[in-house]
Amino acid sequence: MSKQPVLEVKNLKQYFTSGYGKNKVVVKAVDDISFNIYKGETFGLVGESGCGKTTTGRTIIRLYEPTDGEVYFNGKLISGKLTKEEKREVTRGIQMIFQDPIASLNPRMTVKEIIGEGLKINKLCDSEEHMMELIYNMLETVGLTPEHATRYPHEFSGGQRQRIGIARALITNPDLVIADEPISALDVSIQAQVLNLLNKLKEQLGLTVLFIAHDLSVVKYFSDTIGVMYRGKILELADADELYKNPIHPYTKSLLSAIPLPDPNYERYRKRIYYDPSIHNYDVEEPKLVEIKPGHFIYASESEIHEYKKNI
């Protein structure tokens, strides 16, 4: 692996506290996770709600101050204090596509203003004409027309709004796009449209994407590498096909066995695997993320690794 990772996350921790004194509660939303995303690659994060996948994305883009750990972007540390110029470079280089296409667009701004804002802030255009040219090009790239530029978000359908959200993220020519459940708020028939668009853009522009979702079939379709999160930890990390063909961790197995497939015969005889976290005894041995096969990482203690290795 001589390639330089675009994003390097090292032992990232994000704890939230509430209450004081006796009532103090610490929630370990993200608890010591590490992963790399290489150029042109799509990294999928899956897990149930509350497992910390969204928090991970938000911490990377500096919406939260991480409790501990480092985030490197293009080889530079970005998780600590930054100068104004560095901050600008980071916010230009990492862009985010949000889940809710209604809440994430300002209702009082026209599409032109929404998309152009990033250009102005980052001084990526020299004149008004240049800006409009870039905006029109971007609108066409995401499947909208230049006439849409002067309209307001409420005039668009959910799928079109998500396209605006994508255009806004891509206008600054980012090195990394964080897509946080970009299709889960859309209708079934529209989901495929947006997925195809993202796939097309990924190829066309060579995007590097951190794809966060709970729908495993979609993540499998869209990602090259997948990390499975559970209670703030990455339990298993592997190539998409490898993970689906040879899941090792019991939690991954249970997740995979729970996906409903549009195939009645399969559904009738499906066997569900239930995951019981108490099967792990981590009092004696510290669990670690270990490379069990080339490119296939798993979070387990030493004796468990031994056990898993027998079954490979």
Partner 1 sequence: MKNREKVLQVKNLYITFNTFSGKVHGVRGVNFDLHKGETLAIVGESGSGKSVTNKAIMGILSKNANIEDGQILYKDKDLTKFSDKQFTKIRGSEISMIFQDPMSSLDPVMKIGKQIMEAMLVKENISKAEAKEKALNLMAAVGIPEPEKRFNQYPFQFSGGMRQRIVIAIALACDPDILICDEPTTALDVTIQAQILDLIKEIQEERQISVIFITHDLGVVANVADRVAVMYAGKIVETGTVDEIFYNPQHPYTWSLLASMPDLDTDASDELLVIPGTPPNMLYPPKGDAFAPRNRYAMKIDFKKEPPMFKVSDTHYAATWLLHPDAPKVEKPEALTRRIEKQKERQVADNE
Q: Shortest CA distance to 97 belongs to which of 8, 178, 191, 11? A: 178
> Minimal distance in Å, beta carbon 9 to partner 1?
23
Specify whether the CB–CB gap between 287 and 302 falls below 8 A: no
| Residue 69 contacts residue 79 (beta carbons within 8 Å) | yes
CA distance 190 to 251: 31
The whole-angstrom separation of Cα 28 and Cα 17 is 9
Are 292 and 298 in contact by the 8 Å Cβ rule? The answer is yes
By CB under 8 A, residue 196 contacts partner 1? yes
CB of 160 to partner 1, least distance (A): 8
| Pairing outcome for strands 68-73 and 76-77 | antiparallel
Q: Does 259 bind partner 1 (CB under 8 A)?
A: yes
Sole window of 64-72, 117-125, 170-178, 185-193 interacting with partner 1 (rule: CB under 8 A): 185-193
Please identify, among the stretches 21-29, 89-97, 105-113, 218-226, the one whose residues bind partner 1 according to the rule CB under 8 A. Answer: 218-226
Among 26, 48, 102, 121, binds partner 1 (CB under 8 A): 48
Nearest distance, CB of residue 47 and partner 1, angstroms: 9
Among the listed residues 275, 280, 287, 293, the single contact to partner 1 using CB under 8 A: 275
Give the pair of three-digit tokens for residue 47.
Answer: 């897990």
User: How far apart, in whole angstroms, are the C-alpha atoms of residue 229 and residue 231?
Assistant: 7
Per the CB < 8 A criterion, the answer to whether 298 and 236 are in contact is: yes
Name the segment binding partner 1 (CB under 8 A); options: 99-107, 112-120, 192-200, 276-284. 192-200
Decide whether 203 or 302 has the Cβ nearer to partner 1: 203
**Beta strand 176-180 pairing with 68-73:** unpaired
**Pair 135, 149: CB distance under 8 Å:** yes
Question: Residue 27, interface with partner 1 (CB under 8 A)?
Answer: no
Applying CB under 8 A, does 155 fall inside the site for partner 1? no
Q: Which one of 31-39, 89-97, 186-194, 285-293 is the stretch in contact with partner 1 (CB under 8 A)?
A: 186-194
Which residues are near partner 1 by CB under 8 A? 48-49, 157, 159, 187-193, 195-196, 199, 214, 216-218, 220-222, 224, 240, 244, 254-255, 257-267, 269-270, 272, 275
